[in-house]
Amino acid sequence: MLPMPEPADVVSALGAASLFSNLSLEELRLLAGHAVRKRYAQGELLFSEGDACKGLHIIVTGKLRIFKSSASGREQVLAVEGPGGSVAELPVFDGAPYPASVSAVEDAQILFISRSDFRSFCLAHPEVALKMLAVVGARLRRLVGIIEELSFTTVRQRLASVLVRLAQTEGKHTGQSIEIQLPGTHQELAHQLGTVRELVSRNLMRLQAEGLVQVEARHITVLDLPGLTAILDSSS
């Protein structure tokens, strides 16, 4: 009898991850035996671009951001993953170093499975490999989307796009207008848009001057959603 058998909550946390959604309870138990709990504080770095790959990280609670950073201090966010998501799936397979860095946006609880343990589990359970393909495929699509935005659109359009998305997903409708809350600082938003803080601030103010939104620091009221949406496909 092991001193620390897989606690039930580890098993259920694994089952909640999209990677393992269709495994049997028994398989989850087996996997849980290899999982290690880790905790990261807000802002803490899990690993940096170029580090050797240690293993797979599965998010139980909190949020992680995957990002690239440049020599001159700029950052570009590639993805933000929440509970049920995973990070660093790929290098587990090709053995190459991490292509990007990962840090915690909020305090996060993580299950870590080492490279070799996960590999052997995958070989024994081929359906997990197929799930991996789906997860990686989704990530690939998002990256293609980022490339498209970076090379075809302006900062203004990307900003409008984020506001529209927020309004549609978590906006509170109050009469004609929709109230949203920016998920982070202007700086963080700038990193997601692939630009700098000042441009986020300026473009927000410009949208306000045009009567499309009402800005009160991080709290934004969308006054004219159609107008905002129209920015997305303006040829210039």
Point out which residues bind DNA (CB under 7 A). Answer: 72, 74, 151, 153-156, 182, 185-187, 194-199, 201-202, 204-205, 215, 217-218, 236
139 lies in the site for a second copy, by CB under 8 A: yes
198 lies in the site for a second copy, by CB under 8 A: no
223 lies in the site for a second copy, by CB under 8 A: no
**Residue among 163, 175, 158 at smallest CA distance from 225:** 163
Taking CB under 8 A as the binding criterion, the range among 28-36, 64-72, 103-111, 205-213 that sits at the site for a second copy is 64-72
Pick between residue 12 and residue 187 the one whose CB is nearest to DNA. Answer: 187
Please list, residue by residue across 33-63, b when 16 or more beta carbons sit within 10 angstroms of its beta carbon and e when fewer do: ebbeeeebeeeeebbeeeeebbbbbbbbebb
| Contacts to a second copy from residues 66-125, by CB under 8 A | 68, 70-72, 74, 76, 78, 90-91, 93-94, 96, 99-100, 122-123
Q: Which of 147, 205, 209, 230 binds a second copy (CB under 8 A)?
A: 147
Q: Which does 148 bind (CB under 5 to 8 A by kind): DNA, a second copy, none?
A: a second copy
- DSSP-derived 3-state class of residue 169: helix
CB-CB contact of 46 with 103 (8 Å):
yes
> Site size for a second copy, by CB under 8 A?
40
Q: DSSP assignment, residue 115?
A: H
Shortest separation between residue 171's beta carbon and a second copy, angstroms: 26
**The pair of three-digit structure tokens given for residue 48, joined into one six-digit string:** 């940096």
Please list, residue by residue across 191-219, b when 16 or more beta carbons sit within 10 angstroms of its beta carbon and e when fewer do: bbbbbbeebbeebbeebbeeebbeeeeee
- DSSP-derived 3-state class of residue 137: helix
Type of residue at 19: L
52 lies in the site for a second copy, by CB under 8 A: no
- How far CA 125 is from CA of 20, 21, 70, 129, 135, in Å, comes to 11, 13, 39, 7, 16
Taking CB under 8 A as the binding criterion, the range among 63-71, 104-112, 160-168, 213-221 that sits at the site for a second copy is 63-71
Binding site for a second copy (CB under 8 A): 68, 70-72, 74, 76, 78, 90-91, 93-94, 96, 99-100, 122-123, 126, 129-130, 132-134, 136-141, 143-148, 150-152, 194, 233, 235
